[in-house]
């Protein structure tokens, strides 16, 4: 009985597939002059920018879609007073002129960091932030560098003082009345110098909570600003639009090499397995055998971030989150002991990647060709296990894949909360 049903199922499936290919094949014949198969057309549609769904709300940040919060967040993002030396802002590494990153192998703030600066546009769509996912929201992420000695190098009492002095009206219009700073030291925080930590301990629990609340709200405002940063349509979007009939901002043309690269990307080279969807990322962590920057001290990546994440007072379950407990599903079902996470790092999105050399989590590779050759050879990992298998790619195929990545270049646009696409896409 079971066998007969299975056979029936298979013949039915074959009919279904043949039917869908016939229809798509017909559409492709009239719309796709470059010989794309029905299946390739289906995959291309998943990469088009209009496939970007509405961002799922972050229940831990009740202010993330507010215009006034975004306006305040933008000011904070560029404010160099929010640093130990008065010369570092978020924009120092996340430079708007460079797709909100810095083009360096390792970020440089007060000192040199351990990893590559990540870009900002659409970054709120992943469940986890940073290369190792040690933060579970955009607002909580924004707070990390501020108290990191190598980055902004400051402390939350000093930051709260900046808000009291320079942003009182903006802050109170979005959040609540600011606390009184009576009894606060000039500097203090739980992650600072010995003196700053001592000063922090001298505050009452209520004072510490009030300062931390202001600090958390700074992150929520910065996240609201970051949520306004979006990718404009790229040449690839326009090309896919032209080929598949999806909305298009302009006529799309790709070179022969770029088209060959796109075909490899979706097929033989299997890039699309992880670099999936309109942002070209599965938002997850993978060990791809990238050589550590320091071979003697390999970076354990995701596996070392779990404890940090769970202990974080600014996570979804913490006292500064706006979420109900049952809304923190990512933490509730956190994979805390997955052996595959040793040496694993987040899949970066590829929009504008051609403009973001050097590559990998510590800028280990100088060019896109280096990256493609690395994935093709799939070397043994120094720490953990490389999940990729080798793929044979010729020199011209490597070059085609690298040139394809250039078709993902586009401007970063700031759009008011709730506006996802430019005018050309509004009718969809």
Which of 25, 31, 45, 62 contacts another protein by CB under 8 A? 45
Report the nearest approach of another protein to the CB of residue 377 (Å): 17
Which of 334, 342, 354, 382 contacts another protein by CB under 8 A? 334
- Which range, of 8-16, 25-33, 248-256, 289-297, touches another protein by CB under 8 A? 8-16
For 123, residues 6+ apart whose C-beta sits below 8 A from its C-beta are 129, 138, 141, 226
Residues 140 and 366: their CA atoms lie apart, in Å, by 31
Q: What residues pair up with 286 in beta bridges, in sequence order?
A: 345
Give 116 or 230: the residue with its C-beta nearer to another protein.
230
| Residue 394 exposed, middle or buried by CB count within 10 Å (0-12, 13-18, 19+) | exposed
Report the nearest approach of another protein to the CB of residue 283 (Å): 6
Considering the rule CB under 8 A, would residue 6 count as an interface residue with another protein? yes
Considering the rule CB under 8 A, would residue 3 count as an interface residue with another protein? no
What mask, x for binding another protein by CB under 8 A, covers residues 51 to 90? xxx-xx----------------------------------
Considering the rule CB under 8 A, would residue 104 count as an interface residue with another protein? no
Considering the rule CB under 8 A, would residue 276 count as an interface residue with another protein? yes
Which of 256, 329, 367, 419 contacts another protein by CB under 8 A? 329
Give 14 or 173: the residue with its C-beta nearer to another protein.
14
Considering the rule CB under 8 A, would residue 392 count as an interface residue with another protein? no
- Are the CB atoms for 95 and 102 separated by under 8 Å? yes
Considering the rule CB under 8 A, would residue 282 count as an interface residue with another protein? yes
Which of 68, 313, 330, 370 contacts another protein by CB under 8 A? 330
Which of 181, 191, 257, 283 contacts another protein by CB under 8 A? 283
- Which range, of 136-144, 163-171, 235-243, 273-281, touches another protein by CB under 8 A? 273-281
- Are the CB atoms for 243 and 251 separated by under 8 Å? no
Considering the rule CB under 8 A, would residue 194 count as an interface residue with another protein? no
Give 339 or 418: the residue with its C-beta nearer to another protein.
339
Residues 220 and 323: their CA atoms lie apart, in Å, by 13
Give 42 or 308: the residue with its C-beta nearer to another protein.
42
Considering the rule CB under 8 A, would residue 279 count as an interface residue with another protein? yes
256-289 in b/e form (b: 16+ CB < 10 A) is: ebbbbbbbbbbeebebbebbbbbbbbbbbbbbbb
Considering the rule CB under 8 A, would residue 43 count as an interface residue with another protein? yes
Considering the rule CB under 8 A, would residue 324 count as an interface residue with another protein? no
* Residues that contact another protein, how many (by CB under 8 A): 51
Residues 212 and 139: their CA atoms lie apart, in Å, by 13
Closest CA to 307 of 275, 333, 334, 269: 334
Residues 85 and 96: their CA atoms lie apart, in Å, by 21
Which of 22, 338, 366, 377 contacts another protein by CB under 8 A? 338
Residues 187 and 421: their CA atoms lie apart, in Å, by 43
Max CA-CA distance within the chain?
80
**How far, rounded to the nearest angstrom, does the alpha carbon of residue 3 sit from its chain's CA centroid?**
46
Considering the rule CB under 8 A, would residue 125 count as an interface residue with another protein? yes
Q: Both tokens of residue 148?
A: 């990191």
Residues 105 and 112: their CA atoms lie apart, in Å, by 10
Dihedral sign for Cα atoms in the order 247, 253, 258, 259: positive
Tokens 């550590």, residue located: 292
Residue numbers of the site for another protein (CB under 8 A)? 2, 5-6, 8-10, 12-14, 16-17, 20, 39, 42-43, 45-46, 51-53, 55-56, 122, 125, 127, 270, 272-274, 276-279, 282-286, 329-330, 332-340, 385, 387
């Amino acid at each position: 009985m079971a066998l007969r049903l299975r056979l029936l199922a298979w013949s039915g499936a074959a009919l279904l597939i043949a039917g869908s290919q016939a229809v798509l094949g017909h559409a492709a014949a009239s719309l796709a002059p470059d010989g794309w198969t029905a299946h390739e057309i289906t995959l291309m549609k998943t990469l088009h920018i209009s496939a970007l769904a509405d961002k799922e709300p972050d229940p831990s940040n009740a202010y993330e879609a507010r215009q006034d919060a975004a306006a305040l967040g933008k000011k904070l993002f560029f404010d160099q007073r929010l640093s130990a030396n008065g010369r570092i802002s978020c924009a120092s590494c996340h430079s708007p002129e460079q797709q909100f990153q810095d083009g360096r192998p390792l970020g440089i703030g007060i000192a040199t960091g351990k990893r590559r600066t990540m870009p900002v546009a659409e970054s709120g769509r992943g469940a986890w932030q940073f290369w190792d996912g040690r933060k579970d929201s955009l607002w909580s992420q924004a707070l990390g560098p501020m108290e990191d000695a190598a980055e902004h190098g400051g402390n939350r009492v000093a930051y709260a003082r900046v808000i009291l002095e320079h942003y009182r009206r903006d802050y109170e219009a979005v959040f609540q009345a600011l606390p009184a700073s009576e009894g606060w030291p000039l500097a203090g925080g739980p992650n600072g110098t010995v003196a700053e930590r001592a000063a922090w301990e001298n505050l009452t629990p209520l004072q510490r909570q009030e300062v931390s609340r202001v600090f958390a709200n700074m992150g929520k405002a910065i996240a609201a600003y970051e949520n306004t940063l979006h990718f404009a349509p790229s040449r690839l979007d326009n090309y896919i639009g032209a080929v598949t009939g999806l909305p298009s901002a302009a006529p799309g043309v790709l070179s022969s090499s770029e088209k060959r690269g796109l075909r490899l990307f979706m097929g033989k080279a299997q890039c699309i397995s992880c670099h999936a969807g309109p942002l070209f990322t599965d938002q997850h962590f993978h060990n791809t055998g990238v050589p550590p920057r320091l071979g003697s001290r390999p970076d354990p990546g995701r596996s070392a971030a779990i404890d940090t994440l769970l202990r974080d007072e600014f996570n979804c379950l913490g006292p500064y989150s706006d979420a109900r407990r049952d809304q923190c599903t990512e933490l509730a079902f956190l994979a805390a002991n997955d052996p595959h996470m040793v040496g694993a790092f987040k899949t970066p999105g590829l929009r504008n990647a051609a403009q973001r050399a050097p590559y990998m989590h510590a800028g280990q590779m100088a060019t896109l060709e280096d990256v493609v050759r690395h994935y093709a050879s799939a070397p043994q990992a120094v720490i953990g296990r490389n999940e990729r298998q080798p793929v044979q790619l010729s020199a011209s195929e490597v070059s085609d894949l690298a040139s394809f990545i250039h078709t993902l270049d586009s401007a970063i646009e700031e759009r008011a909360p709730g506006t996802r696409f430019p005018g050309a896409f509004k009718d969809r």
